[in-house]
Amino acid sequence: MTTHTSTRRLTAQPLDVAAVADYRRTFARRARRSDLLVMALWASGAAAAALFLASGGASQFTSLTETITSIGIIAGLIGTDFILVMLVLAARIPLIDAAIGHDRAIAVHRSLGKPALYLLLGHGALLLVGYGMATGINPIAEIGPMLALPDMPLAFIGLGLLIAVVISSLVAVRRRFSYEGWHLIHLLSYVAVAFALPHQLSVGGVLSDGTAQRIYWIALYVIALGAIVTFRMIEPIVSSLRHGLRVSAVTAIAPGVTTIQFSGRALRQLGTSGGQFFIWRFWTGRTWWHSHPLSLSAMPTDRSARITVRALGEGSAQLGTLPVGTRVSIEGPYGLFSAAARTSPKLAIIAAGIGVTPVRALLEHASFAPGDATILLRASTPEETYHWDEIRAIAAAKGAACYEMIGHRPASTASWMSAADVDRGVTLATAFPDLADSDVFLCGPTPWLDLVEADVRTAGIRPHQIHSERFDW
């Protein structure tokens, strides 16, 4: 393992008590916002059931038939609520991004997918059973009369679309799709929601005109769809037009790795923190329908910005041949892999492969005293040392220690380090003597990153000190 510092390894500074207090107050505020969001999520589901019960639903448990039907209605209400919450979480609302980060919002979004589907399937099945018991026909035969009701064919189609979306999101299935193909299927969830709404308003008396339930549900739909339209459509269009980004240079820096420079207007006013990412769309005939979540690899100036792209698929490979002058639209910035997540004045940063790109911008933007930051750069081969020279220079200028670890992992043990460094006895403790008092920023491919996270947790680092950015979709 090679070491680079501004001179030698600087003596670590004692913790600045005032700075620690400031970081802790900021973290506490963000934690409270996160807790409030979680409470709001569960409260929305509880409110859906409570409004039904308070509006006469509680009196509908007098027979087995009515009980089954009422449970089916409640399952549908909660399942629909979960779908709308998922849309809100995927809308990239700045308040949610600042509180829990884009990665966690999408993780919660994904975790609600199967419960929502099961609830909606249960909704349909229980209503078929309940209605069948009431009319004296079997549940399967009840499908015909149900489809004859106003707006019910749309509801069945919406449920089918939702099944397709959830199945496509299963890990084993998702890996069979390109990101673009999977994303196209995922857009069907908006169609499913639109198809479900009419039957809620027209079938039965649950959401009758003038009731609190009807007002509540219309408000939920307006919030969810309004958030999508505002933050996934209007805001990106306005931002892209305002900043006028165009490709100004495309440079290959290694096999399959390209830097893309942009020109634009007032780019500092994007409000980017080092480590954050944007969703990029490049307006050429081959690439306009692809969107790419990519981190800045340097902090923007007023008139220029830069990303670094590794060709990991057909879509990203095409970016290496973008013509100069290509128009670019953006969404963002997003993510908490930035100073906003810090809880301490000390930093420990570990990055591998193309994962150095947000780290390079994070290090450039971060504030820390000389001796309070340590960086470890990891690569399997010397050809994978993208931007290491720039990171060395920033570390030297700011008084950070910078370690470089090149080599393949050992075959005999599950380690994220190189075999040579494992044999030499290198550990987290030897590389990061202030680890317990540091925020730990990790970025790289998911299998490697899982090993680093496990090592960091084993060292006793608390979850709120660990900030990870995974390079997958």
Each residue's pLDDT tens digit, 311-348: 887 888 899 999 999 999 999 999 999 999 999 999 99
How much is the average pLDDT of 109-125?
91
CA distance 211 to 92: 31
- Cβ atoms within 10 A of the Cβ of 75, count? 21
61 burial level (CB within 10 Å; 0-12, 13-18, 19+): middle
Judge whether residue 194 has pLDDT over 50. yes
Burial (CB count within 10 angstroms: exposed 0-12, middle 13-18, buried 19+), residue 244:
middle
* Mean pLDDT value across residues 216-226: 91
Q: Over the stretch 21-72, which tens digit does the pLDDT of each residue have?
A: 888 888 888 889 889 998 998 899 999 899 888 888 788 888 999 999 999 9
Task: Give the Cβ contact number of residue 19 at 10 Å.
Answer: 17
| 9, pLDDT greater than 60 | no
Q: DSSP assignment of 192-238, as one string?
A: HHHHHHHHHHHSSSTT-TT-HHHHHHHHHHHHHHHHHHIIIIIHHHH
168 band by pLDDT with thresholds 50, 70 and 90: confident
**Which tokens is 77 given?**
């209400």
**Amino acid identity, position 400:** A
pLDDT of residue 263: 98
pLDDT at residue number 28: 87
Residue 273 — very low, low, confident or very high, per pLDDT cuts 50/70/90? very high
Arithmetic mean of pLDDT, 86-91:
93
**Nearest by Cα to 351 from 303, 308, 403, 312:** 403
- Ranked by mean pLDDT, the top range of 149-153, 196-200, 415-419 is 415-419
**Phi/psi at 309 (5° precision):** -125, 135
User: Residue 162: its pLDDT value, please?
Assistant: 86
Task: Give the side-chain half-sphere CA count within 13 A for 470.
Answer: 15
This prediction has a pTM of 0.85
Strand partners, 329: 281
**Does residue 6 carry a pLDDT above 80?**
no
CA dist., res. 324 & res. 271, Å (int): 25
pLDDT at 342: 93
Beta strand 438-444 pairing with 401-406: unpaired
Say yes or no to pLDDT of 7 above 50. no
Going along 325-390, which residue ranges are E strands?
328-334, 346-352, 373-379
Residue 143 has pLDDT above 70, yes or no: yes
Q: How many CA atoms lie within 13 A of 90 on its CB side?
A: 20
Angular region, 15: left φ>0, alpha ψ -120 to 50, beta rest: beta
pLDDT band per the 50, 70, 90 thresholds, residue 8: very low
Check residue 2 and give its pLDDT: 60
Name the CA radius of gyration of the chain, rounded: 26
Where does the pLDDT of residue 86 fall: very low under 50, low under 70, confident under 90, or very high at 90 and above? very high
Question: φ and ψ at 447, to 5 degrees?
Answer: -60, -45
Structural domains of the chain ordered from first start: 2-18+338-470 (3.40.50.80), 33-234 (1.20.120), 241-334 (2.40.30.10)
Structure tokens at 172: 């084993």
Decide if pLDDT at 436 tops 50.
Answer: yes
